[in-house]
Structures are given as C-alpha cells and as structure tokens.
A and B are shown apart, each in its own frame.
Chain A
Amino acid sequence: MPRHYDLCARVQNGFRARLRRIAVPDTKMNLAIANVLYKEGFIASVNRGDHIQPDTDYVSTTPDNIATRRLWLELKYNNDEPVLKKMSAVSKPSKKIVMKVEELQSLAAGNRAQFIKGLQPGEIAILTTNYGVLELRDALEKGAGGEVLCRAI
C-alpha cells in the first residue's frame, strides 16, 4: 500500500524528467490527491488505465486486471518550465502532523505552525479531513482541520 510520499516522489521526478504523463498506483488516496492537484491546475488530467497506457473506454477493475491498474497523470509545462517544481510530504510516519484550524490559518498567512513553514505565494497544502482530501484553503472554508499530507509549489 503506497503512502502519499510515494506519489510526491513520482510526481516530482516526472516533472523533473519532463515526462508527458506518469503512471502511479491506482489507490483511493492517490486518486484523491491527484484530484486536488488537477483542480489546482498542476496536472492536465487524471485517467485510469493500464500499466502501458491510459484507457480509452471504461474498463472495470476486476481481480484479473487489478495488478495492471494505474492512474495516469498528464503533466503540465509552461514557458519551458514545469508547472510543479516541488512536491514534498509534510506528515511522515516518523512524525505525523495534524493541525487545527488556527494553525492552518497561520500556514495560509505564510507563518510557521508546528515547525512547518508557511505557504509561499502559489504554494498549496493537501490535507485529509473529515470531509475528505482537500486543499488547505478549501478545508478552511469548511472549518475543518486534519492531517497535512503534502505541500506542492
């Protein structure tokens, strides 16, 4: 069961290698984080597919094909530069980071909270809340705190 930092590494490496699209393990958490990245505009699309290529038509996940299931993320580049420069995990198995709404507000303002640096202009943080996996500002709108999974800039 790959953790969220596995996705961070794959996405960051894919952008650095200037790949067009990358295949990551097809899990609910990966899908949720990929959806947030898509909504924020870091990736162009999220597709389910094979280990070779994305599906053109719908293919249901069965015990026969489960091993080949992947999520394909189409990466974006602008002005000869990757749109996502860095994606790193915040909460790690060695140190879990769970934040309250006040701490999230201070992160959003650019100030430090719990030894985590504040967000810079253009930076996002993805956290899992009781309302699901959300970006930091969406979580603040809902008034929800939670475990801060990763940050992307």
Chain B
Amino acid sequence: MARQRTGAARIPATARVPGIDSPTKLHDLSAIHPLLDHYPRQADQEGNMNLATEKLWPSNPPLDDMLKTQGEDDIDESTLPHGLTKDDLKRFLKRTLVVKRTSNMTTAGKIPSMYALVVVGNGQGIAGYGEGKDDEVARAVRKATNRAMRNLTAFDRYDDRTIYHDIDHKFHATKIQFRSRPPGFGNRCNHYIHEICSCIGILDISAKVWGSRNPMNVIKATFEAFTQKQKLPEDIARGRGKRVVDVQHTYYGASE
C-alpha cells in the first residue's frame, strides 16, 4: 500500500493565493494586496492604498551624542577654505609625524592616552597640521587628521617650488634657519620639515634646526615661519612705491 501523506490534501499552487488565476499572471505590485503586503498602511486622500505612505513604526537612528564618542568628527564642506570639497580632501597627503604615549597623573593613578600629530596637504600649496589624543592610536590619528583638515592654510611659494627668501624663526626653544634654493636642489632639511615640505609642495629648500629638535615644536615652528615670516615682493614694492619686474621668468626664460 502506498504511503499516504497525512495532513492537508495537496493544493495546486494557483489556488493558494486568491485572486491569481494562473502563476503567469502577476499581481499588480504597486497596489496593496491583503495577503502579500503584511503591514497595514493608511489610505491617502483619495482612499487609495499605496506603498508610498508614512510608516507607522519609524526607524530610530542613533543619537549624535552616541556617534561622537567614536571620535569621528564630520567635516562640514562649507567650512573648508579655498573652495575645497570632500573629494579633494580624500586625495590629500596625510603624514602621521608624531605618536606619543602620554599619561595624566590623577589621584586614581596614571591614566595613559595616545597623542598623534598629523600633517595634511595637497602638495600644491595648501596644508595644515592637527593634534589628537585618544586611548587608541588609530582613533587619535583620526582625530588629528580631522583637525588638520579643519586647519588648512594656503602657503606662498616662489615659482611653486621654494620659499621667497631666507627665514630665521624661533619657536619656544627651537630655532630654524630656512634658505631658499634653486630648482633641482631638493629638500635638504630635518626629516619633519621634509615631510611638511612635501605636503605643502616645496621642492627646493635648505634648513637647519638649532637648539631643541623636539618634533612637535619643529613642526609648529615650520608652519609658523612659513605663514608669518614670508614677505612677497609685491608687498615690499607696494610699501616702497616701486615697480616689480620678474626678470627671472621674462628675461632669462621660464624655469621648469
């Protein structure tokens, strides 16, 4: 005797869903079906039920406060200088120059934390540096990078390759002498200054650090010197009431 199935008799597929004559005739998916669409929707003004109505149970995304504890600060594109966009920022050079382990001494004991200094630049005259602290190195570096993106400044370069003139600058106990150099010379300087120059887009420079060579202070001294101390020939000429003529490019020919 053939084994018989217990339970309900076999029902053909077409009869399982009322309103469908055959499997090939598809149901109108834009209209609400009482069985296929489980969640009840409200009718709109004309009394039509459709899927494009407000949800009865809206989603609850996490609060901004909860997201911020991750250490990710979102950069507002409107605050970026020089008409930069977030796509431009993705192509920026990022150099993590200093990573240190700091500790905060409290009554509870030593609380360690990681500090990072990141220099960011596009190699075409726009650069900045940022510092960040967090319990993890990666998060501290990310904080520092975001701060660097927010502190971008434009740097003046002569011929897009070097500084306009020699600069002597002192920052705390760090004294740096920068010397402008001819094309092809290269960046012959302290390794921190070398990285900053590659981010800014300075190709030829000579520098000597006197006194303290503390990395944080060397980096800050370099940025200060390039922003504060450069005097453009146009400004000098305007102050003295003289005309500036670019002899290098027009008379001797443009340098590469």
Contacts and interface: CB of A to CB of B under 8 A. Distances in A.
A63 interface: no
Contacts of A72: none
Interface stretch (B21-29, B54-62, B188-196, B237-245): B237-245
Contacts of A120: 165-166
Contacts of B231: 121-122
Interface of B: 164-166, 231, 233, 235-236, 238-242
Contact of A121 (B236, B239, B240, B241): B236
Contacts of A83: 239-240
Interface residues of A, number: 11
B253 to A, nearest CB: 17
Nearest to B235: A79
Which of A41, A42, A83, A122: most chain B CB closer than 10 A? Answer: A122
Most B Cβ at <10 Å: residue of A41, A78, A121:
A121
A110 to B, nearest CB: 8
B241 to A, nearest CB: 5
Contacts of B238: 78
A72 B253 CA distance: 44
Contacts of B233: 121-122
A102 interface: no
Nearest to B238: A78
Contacts of A121: 164-165, 231, 233, 236
A78 B165 contact: no
A41 B165 contact: no
Nearest to B179: A110
Contacts of A138: none
Contact of B240 (A40, A79, A81): A40
Contacts of A122: 165, 231, 233, 236
Contacts of B239: 41, 76, 78-79, 81, 83
Contacts of B235: 78-79
Interface string A74-104: 0010110101000000000000000000000
Given A40-B240, A78-B235, A83-B239, 18 more contacts: A41-B239, A41-B241, A41-B242, A42-B240, A76-B239, A76-B240, A79-B239, A81-B239, A83-B240, A120-B165, A121-B164, A121-B165, A121-B231, A121-B233, A121-B236, A122-B165, A122-B233, A122-B236
Interface in A98-140: 120-122
A40 B239 CA distance: 11
Top 8 nearest A-B pairs (CB, nearest first) are A41-B240, A78-B239, A122-B236, A83-B239, A120-B165, A121-B165, A41-B241, A41-B242
Nearest to A77: B239
A122 B236 CA distance: 7
Nearest to B233: A121
Nearest to B236: A122
Nearest to B166: A120
Contacts of A76: 239-240
A81 B236 CA distance: 11
Nearest to A85: B231
A83 B236 CA distance: 8
A115 to B, nearest CB: 16
Nearest to A41: B240
A121 B242 CA distance: 13
A49 to B, nearest CB: 23
A136 to B, nearest CB: 15
